[in-house]
Amino acid sequence: MKRQYFLLPIFLLVCILYGCKVDNTQKVYDTITVSKESHSFILLFADQGNYYSDDAQDTVFNKALAGTMSGVNSGKLEGMVLFPNNFFDTTLFTSTAQSFLHLFDKYGNNSFTGYPSVFEGMSNHKTNYNSWKFSIDSTQKTSPVCGIGLVKQEFGSNINIYAKVNFYDSVNDSINVAIYLVEKKVTGMQRITPSDTSYTYIHQHVFSSEANKSDFGSNIAASTYSGASYNLSGSFVLPPNSDKSNVEYLAVVYQYHNNQPIKVLNCTSLK
């Protein structure tokens, strides 16, 4: 009987301690600020063997993201360069880039008939940069269906990314969220004139990997409604010799239909 009385306080103490245990992951999500702005997501399919891709990267794509292109609000603009596997130097190739290429190539071929090819959201503008800029501006002026915010935790070269997505309108399709790692100042090959190929060309905003090892992210809902909120996380191991100051994380919310993304609902970035 005395033993039972002795064990009772210990049992109560254990219950109190575990009942009051704080979920540290939830505390991380609680620190996330979710934007209510519409951001535009831009892609460039580049060709290391095509000198027009050098022009597209330096004079168009990089300028848009750097805020030096007239008429483009870079503060609400995210983007990355993709290198599918049909170029001379495969050091920048990723299978995800190839998956993007197949998604946009409606005929199922392994390449477009012309590079570079630029996208805003899910729309191909090829080298028509005026329509591309108009599309970016149009997206940024729309009321967002959802907002997204990010925070990160660093443990050496191991990076954990936490995302929160708040919906301001209903969506009757499936929702995926992808978290991409993008690198600046990546040295690689690029043909810069018809007869001159540089092997020390500096590529910017280069896609590297996706946090959850899925090309278009993780599914968070079969459908959703105004007021819904979702949390998700992913992790990266930084590539060898990466400079953290050159790494950026992009989060993209996709609307999915018939098992493929049909629309970018919003995006954001974190350095």
Query: Which CATH number do you get for residue 190?
Result: 2.60.40.10
Q: Is the pLDDT of residue 20 over 50?
A: no
For residues 231 and 29, is the Cβ–Cβ distance under 8 A? yes
The answer to pTM > 0.75 is: yes
Residue at 153 is within a domain: yes
Q: What is the pLDDT of residues 49-95, one digit of tens each?
A: 888 889 899 989 999 999 999 989 999 999 999 987 655 567 788 88
Q: Say if 4 falls within a structural domain.
A: no
Is 246 part of any domain? yes
pLDDT digits (tens, 9 = 90+) for 97-118: 878 877 776 555 555 555 688 8
pLDDT of residue 11: 46
Q: Is 27 contained in some domain? A: no
Sequence-ordered strand ranges (E) for the chain: 40-45, 77-82, 117-120, 123-126, 146-155, 158-167, 174-183, 186-193, 196-203, 206-210, 218-221, 229-237, 247-257, 260-270
The count of structural domains within the chain is 1
Whether residue 7 lies inside any domain: the answer is no
Domain that holds residue 164: 32-270
Residue 26, domain member (yes or no): no
* Residue 45 placed within a domain: yes
For residues 187 and 201, is the Cβ–Cβ distance under 8 A? yes
DSSP code of 224?
B
CA distance 232 to 258: 23
